Copies of this chain bind each other. A is one copy, B any other.
Amino acid sequence: MALIVQKYGGTSVGSVERIQAVAQRIQQTANQGNQVVAVVSAMGKTTDTLVSLAQEITTTPCRREMDMLLSTGEQVSIALLSLALQELGQAAISLTGAQVGIVTEQAHSRARILEINPERIERHLKEEKVVVVAGFQGISSTTELEITTLGRGGSDTSAVALAVALGGSQCEIYTDVPGILTTDPRLVPEAQLMREITADEMLELASLGAKVLHPRAVELARNYGMPLVVRSSWTDDPGTRVLSDITAGGRSLQNLEISEGIDAIEFDRDQARVALLRVPDRPGIAAQLFRAIGQQQVDVDLIIQSIHEGNTNDIAFTVGRAMLPAAEAVAEATAPVFRSGQQTQPNEAEVITERDIAKISIVGAGMIGRPGIAAQMFQTLADAGVNLEMISTSEVKVSCVIAAADGAIAIISGNYPNLMSFGISILSCQIRRRDCTDTLRNNFNQSC
């Protein structure tokens, strides 16, 4: 008898008919001899409606009251789904985040899950009930019962966290698309369904995959080796399996999400930078440059384009140091094209290079929506006297280009107040969190 956690998003429970269809699917899973915990979002546009009501009152709503308001959406869903299951003859009980004991940080509207008390759900499962749990919500204290919401990706994260806390066999994310696609099918009709993808690959595709499965939930699944399935609520197609290293189990179930703010620190001193200053601000410029660089088999790492004064941009990119001469040559060869294409420009495009740079990055889905993590990285480097030459951020990664000599300064100083500066001391290597000692991990997380 397997324990399966199924998560149904807002579209899947968007009407009474859909709730009834979801109830049938859950009953089917239960009839196959499984224990089922169903995690649901608010119905369809409920959350938007509630947000609109609040916005009619204030443009600066208190986050605590917004959590109080928005958490009702999921509560309506769980009650209705539970009624629909009971109407099918399937014993069921709904539980709020507070009733389950989903304990989170105090950070309203973007709380991370700290731990989940499995006892009450296990009791109801033993009673052969389907347990319907409100996604997206928790409480910051079991005495004060302050209602928190988890922010973006909240219900996905609730589902994975419950699967982990209950020792479930898999977590199924039901959605309105057939699974994870190679690209957005609304933009590219030929988008292919992926049958399988590893959690690590999924995280790399964060911005693509986030539309159906939030990276935060993927990271939690990966860290605890919880198999994920993403599939359609409307068909029996198998969807996409998101595979994790099942040996990742056995971690502490406390601070479920907290330890995952930063998953890796990368330091790379084998970097050089090429910058084209004052290139024309018109479509096709970047394509022209990087097509030429690609033709020379030069791998480009970071690319940063910033707006310069006037009608020009600066484009900077980094490459492996050995490739600098080739990259510089291409840039120098391309620059006159820009000049000739921009007759009215008083200042002409110019190429500058810098070979003594290094790149330090922090990586982790847990930093999504947490600007404080990037800020702390910058502060740590500033405290070490390290000047930042370039900054590039994506949803799950913050990279800083620094002078290679500054890396050395950080190393020589021997002052490692936290894991971040420790990261600087490890030249040209990556440390994956799971290779770190607990002490180091804790150091970093405390400082976050």
Seen from chain A, the residues whose Cβ lies within 8 Å of a Cβ on chain B are 16, 19-20, 50, 53-54, 56-58, 61-62, 64-66, 68-69, 71-72, 75-76, 78-80, 82-84, 86-87, 93-94, 96, 98-99, 120, 144-147
Q: In the complex where A16-B53, A83-B57, A86-B62 touch, is A75 in contact with B78 (Cβ < 8 A)?
A: no
Copies of this chain present in the complex amount to 2
Residues from chain B with Cβ under 8 Å of A68 in the complex = 75, 78-79, 82, 94, 96
Shortest Cβ gap from A62 to chain B (Å): 6
Shortest Cβ gap from A133 to chain B (Å): 12
Cβ–Cβ contact A75 & B72, under 8 A: yes
* 18 A-B contacts (beta carbon < 8 Å): A19-B57, A50-B76, A53-B80, A54-B80, A57-B83, A62-B83, A65-B86, A66-B79, A68-B75, A68-B94, A68-B96, A69-B75, A69-B76, A69-B83, A72-B79, A96-B147, A98-B98, A98-B145
Residues from chain B with Cβ under 8 Å of A54 in the complex = 79-80, 83
Q: In the complex where A65-B79, A66-B79, A98-B98 touch, is A87 in contact with B57 (Cβ < 8 A)?
A: yes
Cα A87 to Cα B57 with chains together (Å): 7
Residues from chain B with Cβ under 8 Å of A76 in the complex = 50, 53, 69, 72
Residues from chain B with Cβ under 8 Å of A94 in the complex = 65, 68
Partner pick for A82 among B16, B65, B93, CB 8 A cutoff: B65
Cα A15 to Cα B282 with chains together (Å): 49
Cβ–Cβ contact B72 & A72, under 8 A: yes
Residues from chain B with Cβ under 8 Å of A65 in the complex = 79, 82-83, 86, 94
Cβ–Cβ contact A69 & B79, under 8 A: yes
Cα A86 to Cα B68 with chains together (Å): 14
